[in-house]
Structure 1
């Protein structure tokens, strides 16, 4: 009898806790949504409701798969209006200096500096620690810059021109005695740096994969009959991956033991390489990235989805769907547990790869296609750029947004506001401290 009584009490406690968790989840979701739809001229109230929802979310055992998205979006929207420049029509996390579409953003060896390229022919250097500063123009051309890449040592930028070849540009003016701006006029489909070496790989218009050094010497290392949109070289074994317009993932890998330099092996033995073509459907493959541990290849497609590919076992892991249009850029964070995607649907998304049930964080404040995105080297922020000519910075941890609200808003919710947005039956708390 006593055992039955104890079991009954335990079940009641579990039921009460479950009901409490459900109530907290509903409150967090409701407050986040009410903050989101609140007009921007109610700036402080909008921010405080979002902040209090965050406090309940952080303290309570709430639903783990959706609530984080609502909390993040409401906190971002509140911060946007707290720092809004109505004269220039710009939010606090938004910078603009390009006069046309932003095509790429990449980081160098300094975690506070990143570079952007545009179809306006410019490459700009930005200071992440001082968003309001005027960017430095490191390169300017009358050609359309299709994309840029950074060498592993952070000393050289590669600007890939639309149907006009490429240029190699030193990132530090002091390096110009060692590395001059080098123009390679041979038209290319795409190109990439080789990991750890001052060499780069191009795909010529006629399909030859050509490895070149900064001294302009070149050697063919492969051949393709398909249109290549992006190249990626595995720094662990030198395997070359190509995403093609026909939806085929091409791979050139070596059946022999790699001794010292995978790249030198490729140059000497490319005719002995094993070639594989993986048909992944009829949708163009636009972008590729390899996880930090080298085990997973992320493949962004025209279909609006991402294929995660198991590199060691050469098989599909899973497909991530969510974008409503072409995936334009893709990148793993430094830990490899998050994946950033950008799309022509006007959004960037941050996917949690540790749990497929969790909805992505959606970054949707661009007014046009989003063409490019990058994690900063510490993995704490995301930089995006697109067709609206602007670049935006996005902290990943919502705690940053929550802190900023209380640093700017000099009050708490009133008793009346608490009763309306939280509830009369909830004990009053100060949102931002005394």
Structure 2
């Protein structure tokens, strides 16, 4: 009898907790949505409702797979109007000096500085800690800059020109430095640095994979019949990966052998060759990144999805879908548990790779295609840029947004506001009490 009573009480407790969790989740989502639809001129109320939803959410008795997305978006939208520059029509996390599409953002070895490139031919150096300061012009050209890459040591930038060559630009303006601006006029499809070496790899317009030193000495290490969109070199074993317009992932392992493999031969005997390829479908592969532990290759495609590829076992892990258009850029965070993607659908997304059921955080405040994105070196912030000519910064943790609201607003929700937006049946508490 005692066992029956104990079991019944436990069942009631579990049921009650489930009901409470559902009710709190619904409250968090409702308050987040009401904050989102509130007009920007109700700045303080919009922010306080979002902040109170965050406080209910962080208490933990909330369904985890939906509400974090609503909380993040409402907090961001509220912060956008706190300190909004109405003269320049710019939010607090927005900077813009480029006069055309932002094509790349990359960090070097300075934690608070990053570089951006644009089709306007400029590379600008920004101070992440002081976003409204005028950026330094690191390089300027009359050519269209398709993308930029940073060497592992942070000392050299590579500017890849559209349908032309490339330039190597020292990031440290030191007259004693032996690296000067080096322009390579050979037209390229794609190019990247070789990790840990003063060399870079390029794919010529005619398909040769050429390894070059900064002294311009070159060595052909492969050949392709396909159109290459991006190159990535594995730091661990030197394997070269190429994402192609035809939807094939190509790879060359050390020791490299100069051998062209026609498309029809891609799946034949690849295990016995330096070169091998995987036909992943007819959708173009636009971007690649390798996880920090070297085990996973992330592949962004025209289809709007991401393929996660097991490098050691050479097989598919899973496909991540969500974007409504081409994935344009992709990057793992420093820990390897998050993945950033950008897309022509006008959004960037942060995916939690530890839990496939969790919805991504959607960064959707650009007014055009988003072409580029990057985590900062600590993984706490994301930088994005695109066709609207602006660069935006985003914290990964919504706690930053919540803290900023309380730092800028010197009042809590009033009792009447609490009754309207939270509910009369929920005991009143002071927003921003911690």
TM-score range, shorter chain: over 0.9
**TM norm structure 1:** 0.96
- CA–CA distance in 2 between the matches of 1:196 and 1:274? 22
Contact 2:223 2:258 in 1 (8 A): no
- CA–CA distance in 1 between the matches of 2:345 and 2:84? 24
Q: What are the Cα deviations for residues 17-71 of structure 1, in whole angstroms up to 9, with x where unaligned? A: 1111111000000000000000000000000000000000000321111100000
Matching of residues 94-243 of structure 1 within 5 Å? 94-174=94-174, 177-243=177-243
- CA–CA distance in 1 between the matches of 2:4 and 2:407? 53
- Residue 307 of structure 1 is matched in structure 2 by 307
Contact 2:167 2:181 in 1 (8 A): yes
Q: Could you tell me how far 1:164 is from its partner in structure 2?
A: 1.3
Deviates more, 1:174-183 or 1:300-309: 174-183
- Residue 261 of structure 1 is matched in structure 2 by none
- Residue 355 of structure 2 is matched in structure 1 by 355
Contact 1:170 1:176 in 2 (8 A): no
- Residue 274 of structure 2 is matched in structure 1 by 274
Contact 1:31 1:422 in 2 (8 A): yes
Q: 1:413 to 1:68 in 2, by over 3 A?
A: same
- CA–CA distance in 2 between the matches of 1:362 and 1:182? 39
Q: Could you tell me how far 1:369 is from its partner in structure 2?
A: 0.1
- CA–CA distance in 2 between the matches of 1:176 and 1:188? 30
Contact 1:24 1:60 in 2 (8 A): no
Contact 1:163 1:188 in 2 (8 A): yes
- Residue 404 of structure 2 is matched in structure 1 by 404
- Residue 15 of structure 2 is matched in structure 1 by 15
| SS state at 1:106 partner | strand
Cα RMSD, aligned residues only:
1.1
- CA–CA distance in 2 between the matches of 1:18 and 1:177? 65
| SS state at 1:98 partner | coil
1:328 equivalent in alignment to 2:318: no
- CA–CA distance in 2 between the matches of 1:55 and 1:20? 16
- Residue 431 of structure 1 is matched in structure 2 by 431
Matching of residues 351-390 of structure 1 within 5 Å? 351-390=351-390
| SS state at 2:377 partner | coil
Contact 2:344 2:368 in 1 (8 A): yes
- Residue 51 of structure 2 is matched in structure 1 by 51
- Residue 84 of structure 2 is matched in structure 1 by 84
Structure 1 gap segments, 5+ residues each: 255-264
- Residue 266 of structure 2 is matched in structure 1 by none
Q: Could you tell me how far 1:275 is from its partner in structure 2?
A: 1.0
- CA–CA distance in 2 between the matches of 1:73 and 1:175? 47
Q: 1:57 to 1:193 in 2, by over 3 A?
A: same
Contact 1:100 1:118 in 2 (8 A): yes
Contact 2:48 2:431 in 1 (8 A): yes
Q: What are the Cα deviations for residues 347-406 of structure 1, in whole angstroms up to 9, with x where unaligned? A: 000000001110000000000000000000000000000000000000000000000000
- CA–CA distance in 1 between the matches of 2:177 and 2:119? 29
- CA–CA distance in 1 between the matches of 2:87 and 2:7? 65
- CA–CA distance in 2 between the matches of 1:177 and 1:127? 23
- CA–CA distance in 1 between the matches of 2:258 and 2:291? 25
- CA–CA distance in 1 between the matches of 2:135 and 2:258? 42
Q: Could you tell me how far 1:177 is from its partner in structure 2?
A: 3.3
| SS state at 1:73 partner | helix
| SS state at 1:173 partner | coil
Contact 2:114 2:127 in 1 (8 A): yes
